Structure 1
Amino acid sequence: MQTSFDQLVVVVASRGIGAKVTEHLVSRTRQLTAVSRSPAPFGRWVEADVSQEKGIEAIKKAVADTALNGLLYMGGTWETQAFTSEYAFEQCSDEDIAQVLSVNFITPILLVKSLLLSLRKSPNPKVILMGALSGLDNFPAREVANSASKFGLRGVVHALRDDRIAVTVMNPGNIAAPEVLSDLSEAGESDDHATPLFDLLSIIDCVLSLFRSTCTKEIQVPAMNARGA
């Protein structure tokens, strides 16, 4: 039996994984707030650039200090030319690096902090953050800012455990969203180099349904035939 919710917030919900997550959860949520810069196809859309202070304030205003069952941060960005043969750390601009660290690492911290009051009002609050395999120890990634930001999210999980809010970071490789499957096809790689989207949604369901006495800190989700498995 699937769990129902009074209120969830999904951040970066207009396309890709975030849009699929909102579509999956909206029918079971009395009020699902979908946050993004462009219109979100599911839920109550809140227009916000979460990398800006006013964007975080917009989300806090939308929640309005009511009980929040879950905050799901599905956002992520990476350096220009990341994951290509053209990537070179020394050629990354300072602005590019700062943006990646801000969106992937600093923004989730500030979001959780801004919504702590509402999360603590829930009988079983959950926070799910989108990490990556590149944030794991000794993973052979070349993208410095992206890897550092995802590695940092793991520290967030461990540091917040005393707040009685279950915080989980999911560390996937490629997820079989349409954009990713298109990229794999162009690279001549098969679909089995990406984890099925259904499986990621199932993991989210599991985490959201756990009792408050249980905290699953990190979940690694590599595709069986991809790097990191």
Structure 2
Amino acid sequence: MKTMVVGASKGLGKALMEGLGEHGDSLIGVSRSRPSALQLREGVDVQWIEADLGDPLTAVGKIAQQAAETGLDTLIYNLGIWEDRAFDDSYDFLADDEDQLQAIVSCNVTAPILLIKRLLPVLLRSDRPRIILTGSTSGLTQSGRPEVTFGASKFALRGMADALREGYREQRLGVTCLNLGYLNTADPLSTPREHAAQNGGGEQIPVHDVVQVVRMALSLSAASFVKEITLPAILDPHF
């Protein structure tokens, strides 16, 4: 299996690079720069594309060119940015910087649309084409979150997933949206899961759990797919 992880240099993206794949599989990481150290699974081939999705048109051309040469079975779009004061009691929509709001929409909405459009012909050549979009519980109805632009961008990802499923059902394209709550990205995959789960006092999800969910979704046969998963922290009062 050939899997591309966009936003792969740190946090959840790095954990996906380190936790996915079996012997003989290929992983393609995409980020502005390659991380200095990765603890990879044995027998997994890793390639890297240095591209900045802050400039979507330039980046998607570079990524699509390499994907066309190597082939692709799964695209995981894990890149996302948010407002400076998001998830803080001081957040105020009226105080948001408008240039930053444009950048959020470009990275979280425009970039995945353009990238999927370019990569879809390559993906559809696979016997089991899959797209996984890293969404957020902020993109769910009545999420309880006030961050306007970030929330809107995550709503948009769910819309993309729905439309792609409708448009390419006959080609057996499976599209999954992961609605994730607050993540503990401070503890990498090398940290014992039990220790990582304790940090955050029940209000943060260890990246280990997300990797396990993604591995499950990718292990299914071509006859089924995971449409949507909501994964909040156990003490998230909104769920």
Does the TM-score normalized on the shorter chain lie above 0.5? Answer: yes
Q: CA deviation at 1:26?
A: 4.7
Partner of 2:135: 131
Equivalent residue number for residue 95 of structure 1: 99
Q: Secondary structure at the match of 2:87?
A: coil
Partner of 1:31: 26
Q: 2:51 aligns with which of 42, 48, 68?
A: 48
Instruction: Work out the CA distance in 2 between the residues paired with 1:109 and 1:212.
Output: 24
- Which of these residues, 190, 211, 219, is aligned with residue 229 of structure 2? 219
TM-score by length of 1: 0.88
Alpha-carbon displacement from aligned partner over 1:125-153 (angstroms, at most 9, x marks no partner): 11001100010001111110000000111
Contact 1:174/1:194 (<8 A) preserved:
yes
| Displacement of 1:90 | 0.8
> CA offset at residue 111 of structure 1?
1.1
Query: In 2 relative to 1, CA 135–106 (structure 1 residues): closer, same or farther, beyond 3 Å?
Result: same
Query: Is the 2:161–2:175 Cα contact (8 Å) retained in structure 1?
Result: yes
In the alignment, is the contact (CA less than 8 A) between 2:131 and 2:174 conserved in 1? yes
Q: Unaligned regions of 5+ residues in structure 2, if any?
A: 39-45, 189-198
Report the CA distance between 1:191 and its aligned residue: 3.5
Q: State which drifts further: 194-203 or 71-80.
A: 194-203
* Alpha-carbon distance in 2 for matches of 1:225, 1:175: 13
Runs of 5+ consecutive residues of structure 1 not aligned to the other structure: 181-188
Q: Give the SS at the match of 1:111.
A: helix
Rounded Cα–Cα distance in structure 1 between residues aligned with 2:216 and 2:232: 17
Give distance in 2, aligned partners of 1:137 and 1:128. Answer: 20
Q: CA deviation digits over 1:62-120, x for unaligned, max 9?
A: 11254311000111100121111222111112211111111112211111111011100
Higher helix share: 1
Distance 2:85 2:23 in 1: 39
SS where residue 86 of structure 1 aligns? Answer: coil
Q: Distance in 2 between the 1:190 and 1:32 partners?
A: 30
CA distance in 1, matches of 2:151, 2:49: 29
Superposition deviation, residue 51 in structure 1: 2.8
Whole-Å separation in 1 of the counterparts to 2:24 and 2:149: 35
| Alignment partner, residue 206 of structure 2 | 196
Q: For this pair of structures, how many residues does the alignment match?
A: 216
Matched residue type, 1:48: A
Shift of 1:212: 2.4
- Contact 2:184–2:200 (CA<8 Å) still a contact in 1? no
Q: Which residue of structure 1 lines up, in the alignment, with residue 155 of structure 2? A: 151
Provide Cα deviations, 1:189-220, integer angstroms capped at 9, x if missing partner.
Answer: 83321123222111101111222232322110
Amino acid at match of 1:54: T
